[in-house]
Amino acid sequence: MNTHEKNYVTFNYSDIVYSYYFSKECMCSEMVREHFLVYIYSGEYILKEGDSKKKTIVKPGESVFLRRDVKVKMYKQPKNGEPFMGIFMTFKRNFLRNLFQTIDRKNISFDTEKHKNSVIKLPQTPDITGLSQSLTPYFDTSVKPSDEIMNLKLMEGVYSLLNIDNKFFPTLFDFAEPWKIDIIDFLNENYMYELSLDEIASFTGRSLSTFKRDFKKVSDLSPEKWLINKRLEVAHEKLQQNVKSITDVYTEVGFKNFSHFSSAFKKRYGVAPSNLVG
């Protein structure tokens, strides 16, 4: 269990996260890196997609699907005297890729259109209700489930979505060319290296033109801008930990000179890197 402050507690069991907010609202704006299925037990969950005014409110007993690689502002807040309590099921790429190999696809059309919305509020089906009720006992941190049980719950979550809408199949299993290495996975593991776009394309099993086309499917940024943002995010996290020098940090994440790093960092976060070092 990780306790960040008096009013906030969260704990993670094999990609299923339990979250409490006792008396304060929490707001975060971030890229959703993986697909999520979220179920709200109490309190209120408010989501705003990108820079639009579209707002989704999720109340107790309701659930929502968040599509990966989209920008969402999230508000978790107590409501009517009750704390915010929610479960966040993370469907990572490797998990979905492995599950895809076991699914019977005889009656599935691969021409079905994917969901385009970033946030999809789900109907209250018996599948989702049953799944959420089966996870309730683990809000008690003295009852720790096994990884195998949590993996089965993640599988149940996927099948619950597939039973709701056939658009979830191409949304969850976007592996039209499964022999290719996932671009985001590769970049998350290799962002710190000085690789050309040709090299990245080659390492992920693509021609340069195919890489550029596929990259547009997973990010609104150019590959170069994505890499800079990734390096800055990791550098920001490392500097906040305050255990390494600025020089060590910027070289570890892939910047070649301090001037470039410092100007990019200040543009992104509004402060110089030295402001984060005690």
Tell me what pLDDT residue 255 has.
94
Closest to 241 (Cα-Cα) out of 267, 270, 278: 278
Rounded Cα–Cα distance for residues 16 and 89 (Å): 5
Rounded Cα–Cα distance for residues 21 and 23 (Å): 6
What six digits make up the tokens of 147?
A: 């990884």
The single-letter code of the amino acid at 9 is V
Question: Strands 8-13 and 2-5, how do they pair?
Answer: antiparallel
Rounded Cα–Cα distance for residues 130 and 154 (Å): 13
| Polymer length of the chain | 278
What six digits make up the tokens of 139?
A: 């809000």
CA-to-CA dists, residue 248 to 63, 145, 243, angstroms: 43, 39, 10
Tell me what pLDDT residue 51 has.
60
Q: Say which residues have a Cβ less than 8 Å from residue 242's Cβ, sequence separation at least 6.
A: 276, 277, 278
Q: How far is CA 2 from the centre of its chain?
A: 19
H helix intervals, the chain: 93-100, 126-135, 147-164, 168-172, 183-190, 197-203, 208-218, 223-241, 246-252, 258-269
Q: What is the pLDDT of residues 80-94, one digit of tens each?
A: 889 999 999 999 988
Rounded Cα–Cα distance for residues 78 and 7 (Å): 11
Closest to 140 (Cα-Cα) out of 18, 16, 276: 18
> For the chain, which residues score pLDDT lower than 50?
1-5, 176-179
Task: Report angle CA 188, 186, 14 to the nearest 5 degrees.
Answer: 65
CA-to-CA dists, residue 195 to 52, 113, 199, 201, angstroms: 35, 34, 6, 10
pTM given for the model: 0.62
Owner of token pair 């959420």: 132
Owner of token pair 């030295």: 274
DSSP state of 177: S
